[in-house]
Each structure stands twice: as C-alpha cells, then as structure tokens.
Structure 1
Amino acid sequence: MKSYLKTKDFSVSQEPFELLYDEALEMLVTNPKPKDLNPYYDSEVYISHTDAKVSLVDRLYQNVKQYSLKKKIQLIDNQDIKSKKLLDFGAGTGDFLAKANLRGFNGEGIEPNEKARANAAKKGIHLFQNIEALKEKSYDVITLWHVLEHLPDLDKQVEKIASLLDDKGIVVVAVPNYKSYDARYYGEHWAAYDVPRHLWHFSKTSISRLFERHAMEVVSIRPMLFDSFYVSLLSEKYKGNKLYLINAFFVGLWSNMKACFSKEYSSLIYVIKKKK
C-alpha cells in the first residue's frame, strides 16, 4: 500500500502515524497499528467515553449530541423494519440506547471500554463487553455510530454483524469521510483521522465494497451536517489557532455547502441491508 498522509495523535500521545492507501477498498489504513490500543482511549479528554462538560468544546459536543440522538432515532423509525429489536455496537455511555428504549425499542449494546460501561450503568443501561457475549441472537436494527473505524479485524467484525442481522433488518453505519472538503482543507490536522483510535478511514466506495463482501448493500446515504463544524473546531485547535471558533464555523459551513453538490459530507450515515 502507498503512503497517503503522515499525521499524529494530537489528542493523547502525540505519536506519529502514517495513513496508507488500500486501492482495493479505496480506504486509508492507519500504520502502525498499536498492539494495545487501550492506553490511547484511557484519557480524560476522550469525550466519547465520558459525559464531560468542562470545556467549551465539551459543552458544544454534548448539546449537539442531544439533537443528533433525536435525528438518529427518527431515521431508524422511518425504516421498514419488522420489530424494534436493536443492537448498538460501540454504545459509549449509553445515551443513544436510553433514548431509543424510551421510544419503544428493545435495545442492547456493546462497549469494550470499562469507564464508558460504568457511566452507562449509572443510567440503568447494561452493556456487553464484546460481541462474543451475545451468543445466538438476532436483531432488526444494528447501529454503529462512529464505531466501524475503531474495529480491529474489520472483515471478521462485519461478518459477525451480518450474522446477527435479521434477513429483513438494517445496519446503520456512521463514519467520517476522508473525501470531504474539511478533510482536504486540514490535511494532517483533520481531527477525524484521530489516529490510532481510528484504524480505518472510509469513502463511500469503501463502505459499499466492504459490505458487498458479506452479501450486503448500501440502500441510502445521509449527511451528518454538524460533524463538519465539530471536526473543524478540533482541527483548528490542533493547528494551534487562537481564533478557532470563527475559522471552524466558516470551514464547516463551506464544507457543507460544497457537499451539497459533491455529496462528500464530513461524515455520512449509511443504511445497509442484506442482498435479496
């Protein structure tokens, strides 16, 4: 694989990494892959495993998250599914599951991080540590909200997800899009590369080809409009820009405006079904 970009872990270790281009999948691969990723998540600044509202970025993230949770559940409600048996893969602190269950879903979740599971338990949400704990189960909806990019053994994980999905069910995947304008604009500072926690970096072609290997197909793609602003905010901070709020707003806005034509939004949601 050819080198695509050199970057580093801006948020935790400051270690250098390289992104390699996988031509077969049109996907970027983080190199090297640390043997133990846990230390890279074991940080107070890794917001997905906490409910922190300390900094301005934290507060913005949490406020946008509440709005996004409603939109995510609406998206699933609008799908033609048999029942409301749901699995949230990489459930974090359990907020999506809590909202989904209030809307009548019968939700379960997987979260490998102990700190995140503990935070979810405080909300009355029990999460399994890994996919193996599910044994023989079947779900109508399986969601991966910014999770697929974290999973080691990617093909094996997708194969397992397919085996847990009902024949008429849906998989909903949200991932960053390295072909977006904000990714190109920020280059090595693009916060959504988030190496080495993000092991894989997807394009629309990547997702289609990856799931086609497991007899599944993308049936619709939706934008995540707020992601361009949040990612731009972090990217500006990584660049050391003191005017990060102003710059991030305009870059995020311009990224969404350009994506109205290119359809290459900062993050995309894919609705995926088994092939008939």
Structure 2
Amino acid sequence: MLERLNKCPLCKSGLFLNHSEVTDFAVSRETFILCKCSNCELLFTNPRPKKEDIGPYYNFPEYFSHEDKAKNLTQWIYQKVRNYSITKKVKFIESLKKKGKLLDYGCGTGELLKAAKKRGWKVTGIEPSEKARNQANYKLEGKVRESIDDLGKDSTFDVITLFHVLEHIHDLRKSTRKIINHLKSNGCLIIAVPNHESWDGKNYGKYWAGWDVPRHLYHFNLSSIEKFKEEFELELKEVKPMKFDSFYVSLLSEGYLDRSSSLISRYWNGFFKGLKSNRSANKPGQFSSNIFIFQKK
C-alpha cells in the first residue's frame, strides 16, 4: 500500500512539485513519481510504499548489501570492490578518531564492523533486515540490533556511520534525531549518499541506477545537504568522494538502458562512463556518491 506525503520529509515545507517519473528496473517494473521540494531541493518518492509494505522490494538476489555469497559476475565484482572499500573506510574512520565506539547504522551483513573490530573498535550495528542481521550477528556475537530503539538511552558513540542508508529511512527526521542523540559531543557522523546531479546521474537520466526507486526514498544534492545540516544543528566538517561508486552505478545503468546488451559491453561502457563521471567532478560534492562528515555544533 502506498502513502502520500503532503510535506517535504526533510524541511516540512508544503511547497513541492512533481519532478519526474522513474521506473523500478531492478524488481517490480513499477513507475514512481519523484517530487522536488521548492524550499530545500530534496527529491522524494511520493506516493511511496509504507514502511511495513516495502520489504518485498528488497527481496531479490541482486540486492547485494544483504548477501555474503556471490551468485553472478556482477555480484562478485561488487563484493571485491566492497572488501577493498571496507579497508579504506576503516582507515578513513581512523583518520577522524583513533579508536573508540563505532555504530554502523544499516550495517548489512556486518563486514565494516567486523573489520573495525579487528582494529580494536568497540562495535555496534543497526540492521532492520532479519536475514542480513542474522549473518552479521554470526560474525559479531550479537552486536547488531534491529532498531536504534533497542540501544540503551545512555549508549553514545565516537563515530556513527550511514553508508548509503539515509536515503532508505522512512522516518527521516525522527530517526536522524535519534541517531544524533547517540553521538558523543565531539563525535563524528559520517553519511554517504548518491548524487543525482553527478555526471553519470545526468547522463543516464531515468535509467540511472542511483534512483533505485522505491528503495531510495530521497535524493540529496548539496542544497538539501545544507538544509539537512541546518535542520539538525550540525556542522559540516568535510566532503569526500566515493570514486568507485560511479563505475558500479554506471555498470548497472548500462543494463537498465539496454537489457539486450552483452555483459562485456556493459562492463566496457560502464567503466569508461564511470571514469568520465569522476573526471567531470571538479570539486567535492560533485561525484556519483559523496561522504559528508558532520559534528554537533
């Protein structure tokens, strides 16, 4: 069942217009409407599946973040890149904080937490998917919870990460406030989101895999990130690119653009368009996906 929003999920403005229609190429082939807020420029799916009804849109073999075993070449590539990226993420986290308590919100199968734990971090995860959560808890001895409400009120963390998670959260404002309440006063909140204003986002248009409707409920640009910062009284400390994302998103987009194309053609075109996307980004915030590092004011 769908729910229709009458206010922007981020800034609560009632001023928004239909922006575009995008198809769920991965699962349902349904078309969803994206609205654009006139105040903060957030794009959001409207109407959208209710929280209790969106589960089936995640239940497909290609939803790689919930899988540990590769079942095809694309998934194998994804996992190889993921493993490399996890090492880079842990090093990046440690460039902000040497050691401490880490909360990964939307931790999937727990690979980042597992790597951080080996480095001496005290780790906790939040993962609503039962399948992924069970896999994560097998590796992490029960350190992963279903909801942030399952954490103790006094539980605070030096670093909280949301890598490609914010765009999935139904209760955007309420959940964000709960997350920030668990951040230490000098802690770091790390959020990574796709960028529809990147070169690959504009190049592929309605076939851009980064839309990923209806699983992605929101689409941020620099203006909506600025509003996010203001709404939750945060200070934006740094913006970093996720350069691998342009290649992976371009690969998937090639398949959506032409399902009859060969895998070799998709990989070839995806690689060169991903490269072009990265080269077209002149400054932080213009890449296919970006990492935003916040602290409390």
Q: TM-score, normalised by structure 2?
A: 0.89
1 CA distance for matches of 2:222 and 2:271?
25
The answer to whether residue 74 in structure 2 is matched with residue 53 in structure 1 is no
SS at match of 2:186: strand
2:280 to 254, 258, 272: 258
Q: Which amino acid aligns with 2:207?
A: H
2:269 to 233, 247, 263: 247
SS at match of 1:198: coil
Q: What is the CA distance between 1:31 and its match in structure 2? A: 2.1
Q: Which amino acid aligns with 1:250?
A: F
1 CA distance for matches of 2:124 and 2:62?
26
Residue 251 of structure 2 corresponds to 233
Greater shift, 95-104 or 233-242, is seen at 233-242
Say whether the 8 Å CA contact 1:155–1:210 is kept in structure 2.
Answer: no
2 CA distance for matches of 1:191 and 1:125?
34
Residue 12 of structure 2 corresponds to none
Task: Report the identity percentage.
Answer: 44
1:121 to 132, 137, 146: 137
Residue 62 of structure 1 corresponds to 79
2:216 to 198, 206, 209: 198
Q: What is the CA distance between 1:2 and its match in structure 2? A: 1.6
Say whether the 8 Å CA contact 2:235–2:295 is kept in structure 1.
Answer: yes
The answer to whether residue 106 in structure 2 is matched with residue 93 in structure 1 is no
Q: Which amino acid aligns with 1:113?
A: S
Say whether the 8 Å CA contact 1:98–1:125 is kept in structure 2.
Answer: no
1 CA distance for matches of 2:180 and 2:225?
14
Q: Which amino acid aligns with 1:208?
A: E
- The residue correspondences of 1:214-229 to structure 2 (distance < 5 A) are 214-229=232-247
- Structure 1 gaps, min length 5: none
Say whether the 8 Å CA contact 1:93–1:120 is kept in structure 2.
Answer: yes
- Structure 2 gaps, min length 5: 1-15
2 CA distance for matches of 1:64 and 1:181?
21
2 CA distance for matches of 1:46 and 1:80?
31
1:160 to 141, 163, 178: 178
SS at match of 2:281: helix
The answer to whether residue 129 in structure 2 is matched with residue 107 in structure 1 is no
1 CA distance for matches of 2:133 and 2:247?
28
1 CA distance for matches of 2:146 and 2:34?
29
Residue 151 of structure 1 corresponds to 169
Say whether the 8 Å CA contact 1:8–1:16 is kept in structure 2.
Answer: yes
Regions of 4+ moved over 6 Å: none
Q: What is the CA distance between 1:263 and its match in structure 2? A: 4.6
1 CA distance for matches of 2:283 and 2:128?
38
Question: In the TM superposition, what whole-angstrom CA distance separates every residue of 1:15-56 from its partner, at most 9, and x where no partner exists?
Answer: 111111112222110122102111111222211111131211
Residue 22 of structure 1 corresponds to 37
SS at match of 2:282: helix
Question: In the TM superposition, what whole-angstrom CA distance separates every residue of 1:88-137 from its partner, at most 9, and x where no partner exists?
Answer: 00000000000011111101000000110122133235310001000311
Name the Cα RMSD after superposition: 1.4
Q: Which amino acid aligns with 1:95?
A: E
2 CA distance for matches of 1:166 and 1:37?
32
2 CA distance for matches of 1:261 and 1:222?
9
2 CA distance for matches of 1:89 and 1:132?
12
SS at match of 1:172: strand
2 CA distance for matches of 1:125 and 1:8?
39
Residue 44 of structure 1 corresponds to 61
Q: Count residues in correspondence.
A: 274
Say whether the 8 Å CA contact 1:97–1:125 is kept in structure 2.
Answer: no
Say whether the 8 Å CA contact 2:208–2:250 is kept in structure 1.
Answer: yes
Q: 1:153 to 1:47 in 2, by over 3 A?
A: same
2:194 to 170, 176, 182: 176
Greater shift, 4-13 or 249-258, is seen at 4-13
Residue 270 of structure 1 corresponds to 292
Q: What is the CA distance between 1:218 and its match in structure 2? A: 1.1
Greater shift, 117-126 or 218-227, is seen at 117-126
